[in-house]
Structure 1
Amino acid sequence: MSGFVNALMIAAVVVLVIVRQFRAQRIGTGRRWWLVPVILAVVALREPGIVDAHHRTESIVLLGVELLIGLATGAGWAWTTRVWADPDGAVWSKSTKASVTVWIIGIALRVGLFALGSALGVHQDSSALLVALAATLLVRGGILVWRTQSVTPAASATTAYGDSMVRPTRKERV
């Protein structure tokens, strides 16, 4: 796959994720939350240019740092996401303003890492970014699924004695 197609895939996934993260979403622990990150990782790892052949050591170090940034961004994003349960037991999540800060810091670190790689003369393929994005989504999904196990349903409104009784309405006299 060409670098342009990878860049489009990365942009599409990031836009989809950012748009969806600020809507309340039901978390299904039974669904395959790991599938999209695994597909992204497989697509990225199939590319031969993930490591620069002329700067092998520097390229591997940059890739490792990129993965660490991705893992930290995913963990930060998951821990700044609000998680709650409805009275019926359905678990929901919605990102907060702190999640935006995590994304901004993660993107800034990635831009700085790309600038460092360019200064060192390392050819950087979009596959490294795709792998880091897969790591971000995988860690976020895993932590959210783990957090849902400790969320208890919200207490339903309790009724006081006699609340279920129908009370006659009184007519006002003028």
Structure 2
Amino acid sequence: MSALFHALVIAAVVALVVVRQFTAQRIGDDKRWWVLPGILLIISARNDGALDPHHEALSALILGAGLVVGLVTGAGWGWTARLWPDPDGSVWTRGTKGTVLVWAGGLTIRAALAGAGVLLGIDQGAAALTMSLAAMLLARSGVLSLRARSLRAPHGGPAGAMPLQSAHAAWEGHA
């Protein structure tokens, strides 16, 4: 796959993610939160440009650091997002000012890693950036899924809520 294709995929995913992070969105209770990051990882793994064949050790080090930055940024993004339960039992999320700071920090560190690669003469294609982006989205989705689960009651309603039948029985007991 061409570098242009990877650049377009990265730009499209980043644009989608940035727009969506500051609008309220419902967190689904399905188990498929890892699908988009998984697809990005598969796309980037199929490309040979993640490691420079002339500087394998250094490019692997920078790739590994980029993956760690992606995971930490994604986890920070997931922990700084605001979550709230809806009366129907669904959980919603939206980014906060803290999310902006996490993003800015992650992008700065990622840019520094790319700059270090350039200064060292390491040729890392778009695959390395795509892998880092996938790690970030994977960590963010995992943290949000974990946090959303703690807000949901076992029966699907909001946490701390009684099922309708139990609430009705409790009310009748007081009458």
**What is the CA deviation profile of residues 105-158 of structure 1, one whole-angstrom value per residue up to 9, with x for unaligned ones?**
1111111111111111111111001011011111111111111121153889xx
Q: Is the 8 A contact 2:38 2:134 kept in 1?
A: yes
Q: Distance in 2 between matches of 1:105 and 1:39?
A: 25
**What is the CA deviation profile of residues 41-85 of structure 1, one whole-angstrom value per residue up to 9, with x for unaligned ones?**
000000012110000100000000000000000000000000110
Structure 1 segments, 4+ long, off by >3 Å, are none
Q: Distance in 1 between matches of 2:83 and 2:138?
A: 17
Q: Distance in 2 between matches of 1:84 and 1:111?
A: 33
SS of alignment partner, residue 113 of structure 2? helix
What is residue 125 of structure 1 aligned with on the other side?
125
Kindly indicate whether residue 7 of structure 2 is the aligned counterpart of residue 7 of structure 1: yes
Q: Distance in 2 between matches of 1:14 and 1:84?
A: 24
Q: Distance in 2 between matches of 1:4 and 1:109?
A: 23
Q: Distance in 1 between matches of 2:45 and 2:7?
A: 15
TM-score (norm 2): 0.86
SS of alignment partner, residue 84 of structure 1? strand
Residues 62-81 of structure 1 aligned to structure 2 (within 5 Å): 62-81=62-81
Kindly indicate whether residue 150 of structure 2 is the aligned counterpart of residue 150 of structure 1: yes
What is residue 171 of structure 1 aligned with on the other side?
none
Question: Which structure would you say has the larger Rg?
Answer: 1
Aligned residues: 156
Q: Is the 8 A contact 1:87 1:154 kept in 2?
A: no
**What is the CA deviation profile of residues 4-44 of structure 1, one whole-angstrom value per residue up to 9, with x for unaligned ones?**
11011101100000001111111012152111100000000
What one-letter code is carried by the residue in structure 2 that aligns with 1:53? Answer: P
What is residue 113 of structure 2 aligned with on the other side?
113
What one-letter code is carried by the residue in structure 1 that aligns with 2:18? Answer: I
Q: Which runs of 5+ in 2 are unaligned?
A: 153-157, 162-175
Q: Is the 8 A contact 2:44 2:128 kept in 1?
A: yes
Q: Distance in 1 between matches of 2:138 and 2:111?
A: 21
Please identify which structure carries the higher helix content.
2
Q: Is the 8 A contact 1:70 1:106 kept in 2?
A: yes
Q: Is the 8 A contact 1:87 1:155 kept in 2?
A: no
SS of alignment partner, residue 32 of structure 2? coil
Q: Distance in 2 between matches of 1:78 and 1:104?
A: 14
Residues 9-88 of structure 1 aligned to structure 2 (within 5 Å): 9-30=9-30, 32-88=32-88
Q: Distance in 2 between matches of 1:49 and 1:129?
A: 10
Q: Distance in 2 between matches of 1:20 and 1:58?
A: 35
TM-score (norm 1): 0.86
Q: Distance in 2 between matches of 1:86 and 1:95?
A: 17
SS of alignment partner, residue 87 of structure 2? coil
